[in-house]
Chain A
Amino acid sequence: MRDAPYATELKPYGRALLALAETRPDILCITGDLTRQCEIDLFQDKLPGRFIHAGMAEANMMSMAGALARRGYIPFVHTFGVFATRRPYDQIVNTIAYPNLPVRIVGFMPGVSTPGGPSHQAIDDVAIMRAIPGMTIVDAADAQEIADIVPQIVDVPGPVYLRLKRGEVPVMFDEGHRFSLTRAEVIRDGGDVAILTSGMMLASAVQAADALTEAGISVSLVHVPVIKPLDRETLIRVIGRAKAVVAVENHTTIGGLGSAVAELIADEGLGVRLARVGLADTYAEGSLNAPHLFQKYSLSSQDVTDAAWRVAERAGIAAGGSVPKVRAVPVQAGEYAPV
């Protein structure tokens, strides 16, 4: 894994989908009036015969995609995460998920990554999609991973919800990094504190893990891009030898990764204290920029560190003293570092 600040790429998803579609004539690309924003202008330019404008009509878009899937096509449906999940939920359940159809629902702008306010901030998308039987949920962290996710999800038998950052996407993993649908990725294999995360919060979790390690705490860090189905085996192994666990997500703390981890801990009787970092059962708000919201709603790297330190103290493993400070990472234009 590379070090922050990270270089960024534009349109890693759009390029990956086009490359795959050029070899797979069964792929269709459907847009809900957000073509450039969802990086699929590349597809529209090159493969217009398989590009469908559904317009701002998400209910029709989802049910139509379900029927196209019944006819052997693999529709990739694109809009922002809020509109991909809340608005057509009944259509997804009844016309895609219950029939177990291979529709790929791609929702951009997770959590507070947009300053556009609660109407545009997908803070509950993972929770509501996780409640759907048979839904696969992928929360991507970086451009290398995205390039591998697209070819790996195309043949999943049932529906997939893919959650993607919009705009500049950091390059965190090394070239040739492989994404796994079945294996969470153990990035640091420590012991006492286990930090579990996915998507945009991976960068913050790395910063926090570094600060905690320097303060003498043994930290495991696990990237869990596939929130459903959860890689229970890896998580049980890592959590099983931890004294405290921190789940970190760019999402409400209700129903997402933190809840999935809490369920796992309870199901398996792992009996370990859990701190959930995320939006604390609250909406965010409109603002000038997203970093302000990550600060304001306790989603910064320092917030992750603080939460880990507090839960470690309660578990009797923090060494005492003050919370370690996260290293400041100055960024140039075109680079990315977490707040």
Chain B
Amino acid sequence: MSDTAAPERGRNDLPAGTGRDPARFADAIRLHALRMVAPQGFGYLGQALSCAELVATLYTSAYRPEIDDVVCSPGHYILAFYAAEAEVGRLDPALLDTYGKNDSDLEAIGTERSPGVDLTGGSLGMGLSGAIGFALANRLSGTQGFTYALISDGELQEGQIWEAALFAGHNKLNRLVVLLDANNSQVDGPVDTITTLEPIADKWRAFGWAAHDIDGHDPEAIDRALKAALQSELPTILIGRTSTRTGLACLPADADGHFIKLPEELTRLATEELESRLA
């Protein structure tokens, strides 16, 4: 198809965050997220804390915006991508101040209108199918890009994820890479108190995927898995073991990771902690 031909020579084929330190990039995501959520006093900060290294390393090691597609399946995570896009200069940082406000372009739960990603949505479990559509379109048109999709462990409860996993495995969509934020957090509590997802890696391998079960806060481990995915003959999943409290020591032990409350004093402590680490 002529309108979806292979990328032209001269397209920027460097990852969006080339040269950046992924650990510092992750903290920058955390600080942006904190500032976006704090004015409301509560919000999806835990999601940004748990996926910060996954998203940061994706930007520093792999994701080439002019060539690849990125999907944020759980729309509640979209603030991490708003933050990452602002960090690499692809989104006006001033817009972050409008996050979640009336008439803002940056809706708190990602939607069709959300900038910074190729696809997101608030009804969970659908993004992997969209990522498959992109990967299939690339294959049909001979386009070279990879498709990266962030999904969450809670989404593994949705049947559609497994429909999608079957399809991608059967069709060997080897330019599809999933980053699973396994933070063991969902609305009603820890995921493993509600359903047993383990063994997660074995499930995906059984569906025909290459699975890397890694520390989701370790940029080096994430980088190695992303590099391996470039050579894979199968679709790849990085199972990033994470926590919704990582990177903010000041959070109380009983903070609700799905929807963190941020009173003024906690916001001040959290801001100081992140700013001092980034100083």
Contact = CB atoms under 8 A, between A and B. Distances in A.
B121 A64 contact: no
A94 B160 CA distance: 14
A68 B137 contact: yes
Nearest to A100: B112
Contact of A50 (B129, B140, B164): B140
B275 interface: no
A73 B126 contact: no
Interface string B163-177: 110110000000000
A335 to B, nearest CB: 42
Given A60-B164, A90-B123, A94-B126, A67 B131 contact: yes
Interface in B134-148: 134, 136-138, 140-141
Interface string A44-86: 0000011010110101101111111011110000000000000
B119 A70 contact: yes
A26 interface: yes
A60 B3 CA distance: 25
Contact of A64 (B112, B133, B159): B133
B261 to A, nearest CB: 29
Interface residues on A, range: 20 to 34
A95 B166 contact: no
Given A25-B1, A63-B126, A70 B140 contact: no
Question: Interface SS of chain B: helix, strand, loop or mixed?
Answer: helix
A70 B130 CA distance: 10
B166 A68 contact: no
A63 B164 CA distance: 10
A62 B163 CA distance: 11
Nearest to B170: A55
Residue with the greatest number of chain A CB neighbours at <10 A, chosen from B4, B123, B131, B163: B163
B132 interface: yes
Interface string B34-69: 000000000000000000000000000000000000
Contacts of A59: 125-126, 129, 159-160, 163
Nearest to B112: A99
Nearest to B147: A67
B123 A65 contact: no
A302 interface: no
A95 B167 contact: no
A283 interface: no
Interface string A108-132: 0000000000000000000000000
Contacts of A68: 133, 136-137
Contacts of A26: 1, 3
B1 A65 contact: no
Residue with the greatest number of chain A CB neighbours at <10 A, chosen from B130, B134, B137: B130
8 contacts: A26-B3, A55-B167, A60-B163, A63-B126, A70-B133, A70-B134, A71-B134, A91-B129
Q: Which 9 A-B pairs have the closest CB atoms?
A: A67-B133, A63-B129, A57-B163, A71-B137, A60-B163, A59-B160, A67-B130, A64-B133, A60-B129
